[in-house]
Each structure stands twice: as structure tokens, then as C-alpha cells.
Amino acid sequence: MRIVITGGAGFLGQRLAQAILARGQLTDARGAVRAVRELVLLDVVPAAGSADPRVRTLAGDLADPMVAAAAITPDTASVFHLAAVVSGQAEADFALGMRVNLDATRQLLDRCRALPAPPKFVFASSLAVFGGTLPDPVPDDAPLLPQSSYGTQKAIGELLVSDLSRRGAIDGRSLRLPTVTVRPGKPNKAASSFASGIIREPLAGVEAICPVAPTTRMWLQSPQAVIANLIVGHEAPAAALAGRRSVNVPGISVAVGDMVAALRAVAGSAVADRIVWQFDPAVDRIVSTWPAAFAARHGHALGMRADDDFAAIVRAYLAEHAAA
């Protein structure tokens, strides 16, 4: 079985690759369980090297037809499309967001449409496809009303995945991921980047700025849970999707102030006091449009799971990065 992960050099792409390789097999669009023969990590920069002979790396512009053709070969059975320009960057640079978040998605789908057998296609979507006045929690059938360019690009991607699935060209599923925290590394241009920064930096002895109010609520999930749920979403048979190709992935709803309180409880006041509250209207304008809680009944029915609480997320990050 040949599998392609776009964004394969990124944090989630690398973790997903490791999980798939450890699992050793996935289910294809026909429902057959197949061994992982080749795993292609596609990104704009080369992915980290791997000693596993099943891994192949490919670097290039995702919107380039030649790159897409090199990645999506006739024997490709599954695609995990994780690559994207993040929310803040897509808002600041409309053309770049459209090129990467929309043009590249269509390019990949066009390649999949030309394959001799329909592949599974897992599209990493976002809660940013929602906006406006919504119930709390948001039901699975809530209308799409994105309030940012990033959310709009993801919503269009979902519609394309759904339509090509209806046409039988792919076996697609769009998974609307919660904000993933705690991510290692450095802050990026995602509006949600602070949700990791206010935990990661204080634990490393560094001051962190929180740009939103303590009362701001967010829909969150740990890296461990999101990888598990991506695989659950891939393995779900088409019949279980019941014509609804977009799935709200379960998470936990946490106020930012409660995130800091959990950090204080786990790591102590000296760590939590390294957070500086400095309101940023540009970040708040984006984050405030995202719903803070979802019913996610469909995701739960498929077997997806949320973290227990935010303190558990902090402890998991500490356990994983204790050596560093």
C-alpha cells in the first residue's frame, strides 16, 4: 500500500508517519487491510530522514502539477492532506493562502481523480469553517460560515472532497481538527499559536505573551489525540460516513484562563507567572470567530476520542519532553 502525507516535514506529518509505520497496515477504499509498502512525505522542504526503508521524501511546491504528479502515482492508495498556510498568514497574504490552501488542494484532488482506482483522501480541515451566531455546543449539521480567508479556503476544500466522493473519484473525509496543543518548536503565524506558546515557553523558562482575554474559550486537542483521530478517520468505512464527509473531531472546551490555571497546578506558580497578558486585536479578531465547543456526535460514533482535561495535555507534553 502506497500512502502520501502532504505537510510530511511538519510536526503533525512526522508524528502521523511514525504512527502509520508502527501500525504497519491501513484499510484501503475497497475495505481491504493492506500492509504499508511505501510512505511518501511531501512538503515544500525535505522531511527529516528516516531509517525505515518504506519512507520516501519529496520536496516541492504543492501547487505545481509536476510535484503533484510525482507524489500521486497510479499505485497511490491513500492521501493525508495536512499541508496548509496557517490562519494568520492566510489572512495577511490572501494570494499565498489561496495558492497553498486551495490551488494545491485542487491539484492533489485532480491527480487522485485520474488514478485507476479511487484512493482514500483525508483532508485536514478546521473549525474555522464555522462562524457567526451558533449554538453552544455546535452541532454536526451547523452551516458553514467562515469569518476568515483561511476558514473560507478550508470550507471550499471540504466541498471539493465531498463532491469528488459523491462522484466516486475518491473516498474522501474532511476532519475538522481542534486547535492542537502543546506543539513543540517555535511560534508560527497561526492565530492559535499562542495556545501552545503559553504552555511551552514558560515550561522552558521563557516569557510568553497571551494575546487574548482569559475568558476566551478554545476547542483543543493534544498531538497524541489528533494523530489517533486522523487514523480513526482514515479507517472509517464510507458507509459509516452516511453521506456526511465532513466530521467535527472531538476535543475539550477550555477557557484560556483555565489553561493557565492547569499549567500552574501541574508546574507551579513560578512557571505560570511567566505568562504576560498583552491583548492583540488582530489575533483576537480571528480567534473570537471560532466556536468554542462542539457536540461532535458523529466523530465520537466513528470512534474518535478527546483528551480527559487540559491538565492531562500539559502532563503529556512534560512527559514527552522531560529530557529536553
Active site residues: 150
The span from the CA of 256 to the CA of 283, in Å, is 14
Residues 6 or more apart whose Cβ sits within 8 Å of residue 273? none
- Ramachandran angles phi, psi of 190, nearest 5°: -70, 140
Residues 6 or more apart whose Cβ sits within 8 Å of residue 20? 3, 26, 36, 39, 231
The span from the CA of 100 to the CA of 120, in Å, is 21
At 145 the three-state DSSP class reads coil
The span from the CA of 259 to the CA of 46, in Å, is 34
List own/partner pairs for 145-149 with CB under 8 A and 24 or more apart: 147/286, 147/289, 148/87, 148/90, 148/91, 148/286, 148/289, 149/90, 149/91, 149/94, 149/97, 149/98
Which residue, among 203, 197, 217, 191, has the nearest Cα to 263 in the 3D structure?
203
Helix (H) or strand (E) holding 260: helix 256-267
Helix (H) or strand (E) holding 253: strand 252-255
Residues 6 or more apart whose Cβ sits within 8 Å of residue 108? 6, 62, 68, 71, 72, 79, 81, 121
The CA-based diameter of the chain, rounded to the nearest angstrom, is 59
